[in-house]
Chains A and B, each alone.
Chain A
Amino acid sequence: MKRPLTVLSLIFCLGIISANTIRVPFAAVYSLSWTLLSLGILSHKKGLSFNIFLLGLMFLLGGALQSNSRTLPKCHISRYAYYKNNNLYCIRGLVESACLMKNNRTSFIFSTREIQLDSLRYNCCGNILVYLKGEKNFSYGDELILRGNLCRPYRFGGSRRGSYRDYLYRQGIFSIMQAQTIRVLGRGKAGVLKRFSLWSKEKMEALLFKYLSNLSAGILDAMVLGEKRNIPAIVYNSMIKSGTVHILVVSGFNVGVVAFMIILFLKLIRCTKRARFYIAVPLVIFYCLITGASTPVVRATVMALVFMFGLFIKREPDIYNALSVAALFILGANPAQLFDTGFQLSFISVISIVCLYPKIRSFLRIDALNNKYARYFIDSCLVSFSAWLGTAGFIAYYFKIFSPITVFANLFIVPLATLITLCGFSLIMLGLILPALAHPFASSCELLVTFLLGINTFLVKLPGAYLYLP
């Protein structure tokens, strides 16, 4: 099968990596891109020469995007702040994210508009990370004036994954403010869709905490809504050791479950194929927004949309091409994501399942097995093994941990996580529509979470389950 998008996205990534390694001026890359584009247009009827120009063009496009993303405007907020600076800055802008409250401290991303220095106001742009003492509940889109110290992030926590500063830079955050005083100018002054999705998320979280204990609600909050702040550190670390921490974040798996549930429900109420497509697409996008549109969710959402569109226009969807579209979409918006551990692990795990699983399966001649239960069991093992094989090297390199128990643990944990996710979604839906029926689902969730934690603790305690690398 020909996979043009896979080739193009690989060359595009190579362009990003090259531009990140070799600092070539943007103007040079950009003008060369236009030259190749012109040559591509002139040779679009020829076979080989067009392909060569197209590959070169994709390489330069990746380079131009990366080079442009590093350029900051003159009025960018990071140009006002230095490492050691005791000045008090006054900044006006909008709250850009949901508030995160932890250890009696509130943090959120703030999109800046104006800055006041020595009685003069200047225009500015760019996002900053704001920390406040105490628990303040601002919403996305609230217009505030903040006063406090402004500094660039320090480079602590330097590891193979990069420092905390590198992590923030990749998110487009170049300064941190320790705000001392705040004034609220107005409420809800930003995009309606994002505001509505964050509001929905708050309501759904409240429902989980209403029906479940704090521990179960915290775990379901992470699995269903992508909010990890309520998971106890001991549970999180235990999941890291068993290599099953991926179930505690919203990933492609969750998007798949949501898409499956929506389509199944629409099928049950006898919706036509066209109607199913038109209803499912906005709902999947809405779920992506609710969970904060993290890289794995965006990847899975784009892939799900490509698949649904393929089925809609009656063309066989190809997973490699769908994966390539997702990569181009994410990197087109932010090329720095290529260097993010989450992006790499998300794509590597899918690629290794897609590449390795069929090969191992045919090598072991699984189809020759007569017992369908044995076939299903071995298939599950092989999927888990393929993902582990693909990501083990990356995990050992970045996190310095090697967990042989992962393959075995995933066999039990993933089906349980699927059940918990389904129960969690059902609980939220029932809590909204039929609260009286929510309690049985809540009890099931509690039981399944207890079971999940019990299995995980047992597996981690097995000898040789995991080992830390030097």
Chain B
Amino acid sequence: MIDMLSLTKEERKVILFLIAVTLVGIGADFLAKKYSSVKALACPSEDILKADLNKADKEALMGAPGIGDKLSQRILEYQKQNGNFSSLEDLKNIKGITDNRYKKLKELFFVK
């Protein structure tokens, strides 16, 4: 098996260089893992899952379950006509927002 390793001087240098680089990489990766820490990033007053309804665009509205293209358009039109939402209860005035849907949306949006 050792006989099969007939390497020229240049090939030996290249292989040693590649192995050295790989070893440095493995060491750096290991140290980064070992000395990584868990940091508390913030203490949010709001649930991070919730978004501000007054700032939500069409894409953000459509990301919520049960809100499609038409309903998101209706919400934005309502906001355009009546100004910012003063409370989440205002959503109930929009056609298509049933009690069931409102319960789900309450978990996803807030109004400041």
Contact = CB atoms under 8 A, between A and B. Distances in A.
Interface of A: 2-4, 6-8, 26, 30, 33-34, 37, 40-41, 44-45, 48, 50-52, 54-55, 57-58, 61, 64-65, 68, 71-75, 90, 92, 114, 116, 119-125, 144-145, 147, 181-185, 187, 332
A121 B63 contact: no
Contacts of B48: 90, 92, 114, 116, 121, 145
Interface string B37-53: 11111111001111100
Contact of B4 (A3, A64, A123, A183): A3
A75 B39 CA distance: 8
Contacts of A33: 23
23 contacts: A4-B4, A4-B6, A30-B30, A37-B19, A44-B9, A44-B12, A51-B5, A52-B2, A55-B2, A55-B5, A68-B26, A68-B29, A71-B34, A73-B32, A92-B48, A114-B41, A145-B48, A182-B65, A183-B49, A183-B50, A183-B60, A183-B108, A184-B62
**Chain A interface SS verdict (over half):** mixed
Interface in B1-28: 1-7, 9, 11-13, 15-16, 19-20, 22-23, 26-27
Contacts of B39: 75, 122-123
B36 A73 contact: yes
A137 to B, nearest CB: 12
Contacts of B32: 73
Contacts of A40: 16, 19
Contacts of B50: 183
Interface in B49-98: 49-51, 59-60, 62-65
Contacts of B34: 71
B112 interface: no
Contacts of B42: 120-121
B60 A332 contact: no
A183 B51 contact: yes
Contacts of A44: 9, 12-13, 16
Interface of B: 1-7, 9, 11-13, 15-16, 19-20, 22-23, 26-27, 29-30, 32-34, 36-44, 47-51, 59-60, 62-65, 104, 107-108
A147 B37 contact: no
Query: Which has the most chain A C-beta neighbours within 10 Å: B2, B20, B49?
Result: B49
Contacts of A121: 40-44, 48
A75 B41 CA distance: 12
B73 to A, nearest CB: 17
